[in-house]
Amino acid sequence: MATTPPAAASSPPTTRGFSGSARKRRSRATALPPSPGPPLLAKAMLSLPPVQKLLRQLPAGPAKPPVGGDTAEEVTSPVLATEAGQPACYSALQVDELRLLAGPKPAVATSTGPSLRHDDLKEMLDSNKDSLKLEAMKRIVAMIARGKNASDLFPAVVKNVACKNIEVKKLVYVYLVRYAEEQQDLALLSISTFQRGLKDPNQLIRASALRVLSSIRVPIIVPIMMLAIKEAASDMSPYVRKTAAHAIPKLYSLDSDQKDQLIEVIEKLLADKTTLVAGSVVMAFEEVCPERIDLIHKNYRKLCNLLIDVEEWGQVVIINMLTRYARTQFLSPNQNESLLEESAEKAFYGSEEEDTKEPKAEAASLAKRKPYVMDPDHRLLLRNTKPLLQSRNAAVVMAVAQLYFHLAPKAEVGVIAKALVRLLRSHSEVQYVVLQNVATMSIKRRGMFEPYLKSFYIRSTDPTQIKILKLEVLTNLANETNISTILREFQTYIRSMDKDFVAATIQAIGRCATNIGKVRDTCLNGLVQLLSNRDELVVAESVVVIKKLLQMQPAQHSEIIKHMAKLTDNIQVPMARASILWLIGEYCEHVPKIAPDVLRKMAKSFTNEEDIVKLQVINLAAKLYLTNSKQSKLLTQYVLNLAKYDQNYDIRDRARFIRQLIVPTEKSGALNKYAKKLFLAQKPAPILESSFKDRDHFQLGSLSHLLNAKAVGYQELPDWPDEAPDPSVRNVEVPEWTKCTSREKRKEKAEKPFYSDSDGESGPTESADSEPESVSEESGSSSSSSSSSGSEEEEEEEEEGSGEQSEDKEEEEKRPKRKDKEGSRKAAMGSAGSPSEDEEEEEGAKKAKKKKAPPGRKSHAETSSEEASTSESSSSGSDSGSEAEAKRRKAPPSSRAGPKEISLLDLDDFTPPPPQPIPSSSIISTSLVTDLEGLTLTDTSLTPAISNNTDAEVKSLRVSEPKLLSGMRIQEFPEIERLAPGDTANVVMGIDFCDSTQAANFQLCTHTRHFYVSIQPPVGELMAPVFMSENEFKKEQGKLTGMSEITEKLTLPEKCRSDHAIVQQVTSAANVGRVPCGADNEYRFAAKTMTSGSLVLITLEQREGAVAQLTVNSEKMVIGTMLVKDIIQALAQ
């Protein structure tokens, strides 16, 4: 709010400045077009069908400007006037003819060239009949939809921007947004309409004006847009603010130089408390300044808490952003486990080559780590996102799933599996994306999906791409216990008609075989059987996989190799042939008889082979030459010679290289003797890995993850920090709410009937901010202890609003100057909370002057929570001039000595209420300034700040002789031993008013004097809000009829008729909570009195117009009666 006045102040000049330039523009715009204008018209005349020509000659005054709803600018524009003029005159007369003419139009269009084709449309647009305009616009929109160019209609369309008919207007907007970029000058004509719209009293019109204005991509209006966005960002209506958030990325894409200013707006909107705005502003944040993660700190808890009530699209954006945020701010919850897990997995798989040293080292490093404790904010995020797994929106579910995957402790990640499996029933596109992500997840966290293994079974009707992904998941999930089931399932798949799928299945079997040693032989046998399959692709795929498997086994499979050698005759797939050749070469010692023969055959067909096969032939030749040179020397020479003249230089190079290496010559280098070692070295077995391995470095669910490539604008998911950054950055300072707002807050919460009740969930350990929240909800029992620091608070208060500050000043100015004759000290006590309370002071030992502050109707005062009351204390004191007492009274609104952080969940979208009127109490200058900082403790507690403004020291300041009605109790503050001049002391005292509206009287004593103090609570503050449902409310109301019901009619003043105003006024008059209510024109509030806890129910029913009926139901009739008065007074203000 503080920012509103400057913004408002600055806006008029800028607008003016611009509209000047707009005018210039416009005149330029008008200067240009006349040239095309007349010829166009002339041509149009020529091409018109005879009837139309005739018509044209009919009207006498063709230059008349159009009538209708057009605005002044359009009329002044000569282009528009001429173009519009002629048709306008007769179209009014001949609507029906025009309609008829519209029919044969397209034929004319094709024959007469582009400039003329939309002639009839122009005429219809210029007519002053809305139905014709509508018809024309519909046809134009249909053209746009089909992707046809309708840009030449721009001038004719744009002048209808101010049309009264809503549908025409909307269609004009559609057109404008589409073509404004191409016709920037003309587009400017429409701007003023939107500027006017921005000032409309109706929020929806303001929003739509901003929406269209910001969608027009014309760089010249950037300043206007900027201004409009800034203004809308502080609009009263959350809907307009949402629109402002939407407009930010639009402006940013138009002119990225505005970034800094836009960030300011984003920062401001991020602080917004409404669910409506949250999603949109985070989206703007992500598009404009995703790197400014620091802007999130203060809003983090609020976003977490609001999340469940945000609309689904906003949820996705917020969750994704918060995932990134959390990665920068919290420690990894798995830092201990991850090590354990790794070593465990190693032990599981790599049992053969287990390294014994490593685990020990890890264990040592483990021990060193200190135990991990999750940041409460981290927990808050996890807890608040979990219910969203139940969303019907797949994108939300996926967003939560990725959040859990990236942020949750390992033990908790499992909860997402169920939801993801559920998505598999959805549309095939959704399945596709989900399966990709499941595939990635299942590599890291296999256990999570194991229970759902069967959900990934493949149906013959699944699309191939889905089948292959499911296969991937099944393979990832395979382990020793379930492998037999999976393999049985795979056997069904191998017989599928879908050959791509079969090939993928064979690969999958290969992977299972490499990963799970137990089944390796079974798989190998199965694959060998496939070698006799009729389908070549299947055989080829099997060969490739077998080759990989054989490499892992110590070579005892010569039978299989022999079998495969025979296949070279038949198999044509290059990869398979190459694989077989490689196998034979590698294990030629196991098949000494066959290998040379294969080489012979291959040498024969060498020239016809594919390149990869040729390379393997050379390889085979070299290996044979080294092991069995007797039989293969000549063949090798022959092959190498062929290769020497091959077209492919790779092959030529390889041949040359190998010849040098293996054939001993005089010149041959030192490597020659190692040739055998080089070629026949033990080769490590290949590892068959999932293509989804390591994809998780991309944020799951993102486009980049899906494509496995960084997409434009992708924000890296940062690694966990080693040391957690300071968590206190997320603490939220007490925002500057006056009393009333905080009450509204509460009421707001009560208003939210959906989901929000989950807020209550927050357990004691959970979030840091849940604590203050719960405190504020408790009825009055909270202790006053937190009303700490006067000074800080005061500062805050001072910032808080110009309103209150000026109050103080005003008061100070008014203060008559008095001379302090006696030099005695006086205490002025700002009575906390209620201005209406009396303050009595006694000055001097003998003179006791009592002054009552006028019972101004103000309600502040203690709420149950510490945000106690603003004390607009009416200081009263001796008015007697005889005392020359410089009594200064300062009444800083001592509100909320409340907790520094308050829960943001229930923050409202209301601006803080207007400053409370100041009781024009007579002011005495006192030397002691007493500030009542708040009322807390049991029912009511005050934390007055007592300051000594005299030049003498005050000693033993204490409360004495309280005169209380029965039942009232007062909690005195401990005696203040001494107070130096100019010092201020804060004390805490509590008063239990026992549900009575009587004042509490006591004396404030110093070592020399006594001051009478009287504090009277405003009735509205004797209660604390309670939350109840509509039904409970009705039930309770039914019990409190007759004597307990007080009804009063009232007339609502103009400004008090909106929901917002009524609720605000009522809640400012009394500390009540709003009860949800189905009916539009009815408002319900409920509260309980502090001491006895009896219910106070308020119903305000708005009748037609300004008449309203107020009903208060309460056992405490006095309270009820006074409350009625107070509320009526508040509403009448």
Partner 1 sequence: MIHSLFLINCSGDIFLEKHWKSVVSQSVCDYFFEAQEKAIDVENVPPVISTPHHYLISIYRDKIFFVSVIQSEVPPLFVIEFLHRVADTFQDYFGECSETAIKDNVVIVYELLEEMLDNGFPLATESNILKELIKPPTILRSVVNSITGSSNVGDTLPTGQLSNIPWRRAGVKYTNNEAYFDVVEEIDAIIDKSGSTVFAEIQGVIDSCIKLSGMPDLSLSFMNPRLLDDVSFHPCIRFKRWESERVLSFIPPDGNFRLISYRVSSQNLVAIPVYVKHMISFKENSSSGRFDVTIGPKQNMGKTVESVVMTVHMPKAVLNMNLTATQGSYTFDPVTKVLTWDVGKITPQKLPNLKGLVNLQSGAPKPEENPSLNIQFKIQQLAISGLKVNRLDMYGEKYKPFKGVKYITKAGKFQVRT
Instruction: Give residues 244-273 in contact with partner 1 (rule: CB under 8 A).
Output: 246-247, 249-250, 253
Q: Cβ of residue 275: shortest distance to partner 1, in angstroms?
A: 9
Rg (CA), the chain: 42
* From 355-363, 494-502, 634-642, 1086-1094, span contacting partner 1 (CB under 8 A): 494-502
CB 915, min distance to partner 1, A: 28
Given 147, 669, 764, 1042, the residue binding partner 1 (CB under 8 A)? 147
Q: Please, what is the minimum distance in Å from the beta carbon of residue 67 to partner 1?
A: 18
Q: For residue 539, state whether it binds partner 1 (rule: CB under 8 A).
A: no
Say whether residue 174 binds partner 1 (CB under 8 A).
yes
Say if strands 847-851 and 839-843 run parallel, antiparallel, or are unpaired.
antiparallel
Q: Does 217 bind partner 1 (CB under 8 A)?
A: yes
Decide if residue 142 touches partner 1 (CB under 8 A): yes
SS (H, E, C) 440-501: HHHHHCHHHHHHHHHHHCCCCCCCHHHHHHHHHHHHHHCCCCCHHHHHHHHHHHHCCCCHHH
Q: How far is the CB of 129 from partner 1 (least distance, A)?
A: 8
Q: Which is nearer to partner 1, 171 or 891 (by Cβ)? A: 171
Distance, CA of 812 to CA of 890 (rounded, Å): 8
Residue 704 or 1114: which CB sits closer to partner 1?
704
Q: Site for partner 1 (CB under 8 A): which residue of 562, 752, 969, 1125?
A: 752
Residues in 381-400 that interact with partner 1 by CB under 8 A: 387, 390-395, 397-399
Contact flag: residue 96 with partner 1 (CB under 8 A): no
Q: Applying CB under 8 A, does 280 fall inside the site for partner 1? A: yes
DSSP, residue by residue, 620-659: HHHHHHHH-HHHHHHHHHHHHHHHHT-S-HHHHHHHHHHH
Work out the number of other CB atoms within 10 angstroms of the CB of residue 637: 14
In the bound state with partner 1, the residue whose beta carbon lies nearer, of 702 and 941, is 702
Binding to partner 1 (CB under 8 A): which residues in 474-493?
489, 492
Place of tokens 């009542």: 932
What residue has token string 């404009």? 288
Residue 255 CA to residue 225 CA, distance in Å, equals: 11
Question: Six-digit token pair at 120?
Answer: 């009839």
Which lies closer to partner 1 via its Cβ, residue 469 or residue 1124?
A: 469
Sheet with 976-979, edge to edge strand ranges: 976-979, 954-963, 1000-1005, 1010-1015
Pick between residue 276 and residue 1015 the one whose CB is nearest to partner 1: 276
Give the Cα separation of 900 and 731 in Å (integer).
8
**Residue from the set 141, 295, 567, 884 that interacts with partner 1 by CB under 8 A:** 141
Residue of 203, 668, 672, 1121 interacting with partner 1 (CB under 8 A): 203
201 near partner 1 (CB under 8 A): no
Closer Cβ to partner 1, 433 or 902, answer by number: 433
Reported as type and span, the H/E element at residue 396 is helix 394-407
Minimum Å gap between C-beta 311 and partner 1 is 7
Is 1132 a binding residue for partner 1 by CB under 8 A? The answer is no
100 makes contact with partner 1 (CB under 8 A): no
Structure tokens at 908: 């409202």
DSSP 8-state secondary structure symbol assigned to residue 1091: T
Is the Cβ of residue 256 or residue 464 nearer to partner 1 in the bound state?
Answer: 464
Q: Pull the structure tokens for residue 1081.
A: 């024109």
Alpha-carbon span 1029 to 539, nearest angstrom: 70
In sequence order, what are the residues at sequence separation of 6 or more whose Cβ sits closer than 8 angstroms to the Cβ of residue 709? none
Q: Does 497 bind partner 1 (CB under 8 A)?
A: yes
Q: Which of 27, 131, 553, 911 binds partner 1 (CB under 8 A)?
A: 131
Site string for partner 1, 685-724 (x = CB under 8 A): ----------------xxxx-xx-x-xxxxx---------
- For partner 1, the closer CB: 165 or 783: 165
CA dist 341 and 1074 (Å) reads 52
Q: Tokens for 645?
A: 């003249």
Instruction: Decide if residue 463 touches partner 1 (CB under 8 A).
Output: yes
Site string for partner 1, 396-425 (x = CB under 8 A): -xxx------------------xx-xx--x
Listed residue (1070, 1062, 1075, 1084) closest to 1120, CA to CA: 1070
Residue closer to partner 1 (CB basis): 252 or 606? 252
Residue 430 found at the interface with partner 1 (CB under 8 A): yes
Token duo for residue 1131: 């509403």
Give 174 or 1056: the residue with its C-beta nearer to partner 1: 174
Short-list 63, 56, 118, 39, CA closest to 91? 56
Q: Residue 219: how many CB atoms within 10 A of its CB? A: 10
Nearest distance in Å: CB 282, partner 1: 11
Q: Does 128 bind partner 1 (CB under 8 A)?
A: no
Amino acid at residue number 253? S
Interface residue with partner 1 among 199, 454, 677, 1103 (CB under 8 A) is 454
Closest CA to 968 of 1002, 941, 934, 995: 995
User: Among 680, 578, 580, which residue's Cα sits nearest to residue 626?
Assistant: 680
CA dist 723 to 298, 299, 907, Å? 20, 22, 32
- Contact pattern for partner 1 over residues 571 through 600, marking x by CB under 8 A: ------------------------------
Helices (H), 516-648: 520-530, 536-552, 558-567, 574-586, 594-605, 611-627, 629-644
As given in the structure block, the two tokens for residue 322 are: 């918060």
Structural contact between residues 906 and 899, judged by C-beta atoms closer than 8 angstroms: no
By beta-carbon proximity to partner 1, the closer residue of 12 and 147 is 147
Contacts to partner 1 from residues 291-320, by CB under 8 A: 308, 311-313, 316, 320
Which residues, 1022 to 1081, sit near partner 1 by CB under 8 A?
1030-1031, 1078-1080
Nearer to partner 1, 390 or 1092 (CB): 390
Least Å from the CB of residue 103 to partner 1: 16
- Residue among 17 and 290 whose Cβ is closer to partner 1: 290
- CA–CA separation, 231 and 252 (whole Å): 17
| Per-residue binding letters, 179-198, with partner 1 (x by CB under 8 A) | --x-----------------
Contacts of partner 1 in 1014-1033 (CB under 8 A):
1030-1031
Asked if residue 766 binds partner 1 (CB under 8 A), the reply is: no
The least distance separating partner 1 from the CB of residue 559, rounded to whole angstroms, comes to 25
- 232: its two tokens: 């809308």
Contact 1064, 748 (CB under 8 A): no
Q: Is 638 exposed, middle or buried (0-12, 13-18, 19+ CB in 10 A)?
A: middle
Q: Which of residues 798-857 bind partner 1 (CB under 8 A)?
A: none
Span 223-242, contacts to partner 1 by CB under 8 A: 237-239
Site membership for partner 1, residue 65 (CB under 8 A): no
Which of 207, 227, 205 minimizes the C-alpha distance to 18? 227
Q: Which is nearer to partner 1, 455 or 998 (CB)?
A: 455
- The residue among 212 and 886 lying less far from partner 1, judged by its C-beta, is 212
Residues in contact with partner 1, total (CB under 8 A)?
108
CB of 138 to partner 1, least distance (A): 5
Cα separation of 281 and 245, whole Å? Answer: 5
The residues pairing with 1096 across neighbouring beta strands, listed in sequence order, are 1087, 1114
Query: Judged by CB under 8 A, does residue 95 bind partner 1?
Result: no
757 binds partner 1 (CB under 8 A): yes
Q: Are 1000 and 993 in contact (CB under 8 A)?
A: yes
Residues in 926-965 that interact with partner 1 by CB under 8 A: none
